[in-house]
């Protein structure tokens, strides 16, 4: 039986979107629950799948659902409040949120940095850096994909140590950097490139929260330049007043 009304001047996709939104907000569709397939919804409302896809897109715009490539569409769970302050620490953030965190190293390299990275770290053009790519999960969900650059001369063989410790704080401490603070943060929203979308298992049409940062030791000398791409489906950035 159809739950939409034809001929009343309201687009069918909009009616379907409203019905599903109501089901979500009333809890009839629970957080994390998978929605019926586009074909099943098309049969339920007696419409074509294009109309259903437009309704789902409207729900995604309202951040009520998320679509995972190859899996389907799910009711959006509550986002994580990721705090950015002068002493931003991934592990501490996850501990404060009481979630199980997992860090995976995807790639590492010893290379000459792009000019913006060299400038951020205060390096000459011929000074090498270590680039470390990581993927972070919380409760099994991908929350960010990060690229970090460290001055290679100051931190010899850093990637091997980081792979063992899986903590920037503990890794830098091994090199005598007892503490460091966020010197600079820039936040923007960007569409992912094909590689980032593949790594984060999301569509290229869904924006990411793109965070560029510089961490410096207690003397103000940069020790890390980072680019972190946060999933907008799972993370809400909270900038603390001390930043």
- Min mean pLDDT across 78-82, 115-119, 163-167 is at 78-82
Q: How far is CA 33 from the centre of its chain?
A: 21
Q: Strands, E, within 19-161: which ranges?
A: 65-68, 72-75, 80-84, 101-111, 129-138, 141-151
Q: What pairs with residue 238 in β-bridges?
A: 83
202 neighbors 190 (Cβ within 8 angstroms): no
Q: Is the pLDDT of residue 172 over 90?
A: yes
**Domain residue spans in the chain?**
12-75, 80-239
197-231 per-position pLDDT tens digit: 999 988 888 889 999 999 999 999 999 999 999 98
At residue 39, what are phi and psi to the nearest 5 degrees?
-65, -40
User: CATH 1.10.10.10: does it fit domain 12-75?
Assistant: yes
3-class secondary structure per residue, 150-164: EECCCCCCHHHHHHH
**For the chain, percent of residues with pLDDT exceeding 90:** 63
Q: What pairs with residue 231 in β-bridges?
A: 208
18-71 per-position pLDDT tens digit: 999 998 888 888 888 899 999 999 999 999 999 999 999 999 888 888 887 778
Q: What is the pLDDT of residue 106?
A: 97
Strands 235-239, 80-84: pairing is parallel
Q: What topology is assigned to 80-239 in CATH?
A: Chorismate lyase (3.40.1410)
Q: How far is CA 132 from CA 49, 110, 145, 151, 154, in A?
A: 42, 9, 11, 12, 15
């Amino acid at each position: 039986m159809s739950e939409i009304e034809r001929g009343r001047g309201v687009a069918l996709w909009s009616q379907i979107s409203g019905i599903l939104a109501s089901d979500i907000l009333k809890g009839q569709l629970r957080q994390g629950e998978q929605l019926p397939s586009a074909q099943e919804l098309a049969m339920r409302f007696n419409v074509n799948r294009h109309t259903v896809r437009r309704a789902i897109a409207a729900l995604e715009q309202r951040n009520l659902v998320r679509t995972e490539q190859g899996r389907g569409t799910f009711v959006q769970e509550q986002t994580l409040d990721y705090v950015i302050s002068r002493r931003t620490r991934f592990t501490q953030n996850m501990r404060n949120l009481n979630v199980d965190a997992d860090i995976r190293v995807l790639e590492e390299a010893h290379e000459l940095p792009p000019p913006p990275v060299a400038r951020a770290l205060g390096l000459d053009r011929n000074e090498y850096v270590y680039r470390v790519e990581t993927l972070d999960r919380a409760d099994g969900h991908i929350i960010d994909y990060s690229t970090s650059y460290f001055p290679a001369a100051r931190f010899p063989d850093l990637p091997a140590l980081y792979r063992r410790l899986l903590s920037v704080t503990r890794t830098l401490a091994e090199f005598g950097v007892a503490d460091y603070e966020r010197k600079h943060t820039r936040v923007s929203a960007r569409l992912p490139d094909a590689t980032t979308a593949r790594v984060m298992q999301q569509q290229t049409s869904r924006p990411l929260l793109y965070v560029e940062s510089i961490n410096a030791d207690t003397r103000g000398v940069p020790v890390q330049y980072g680019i972190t791409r946060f999933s907008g489906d799972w993370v809400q950035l909270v900038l603390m007043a001390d930043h």
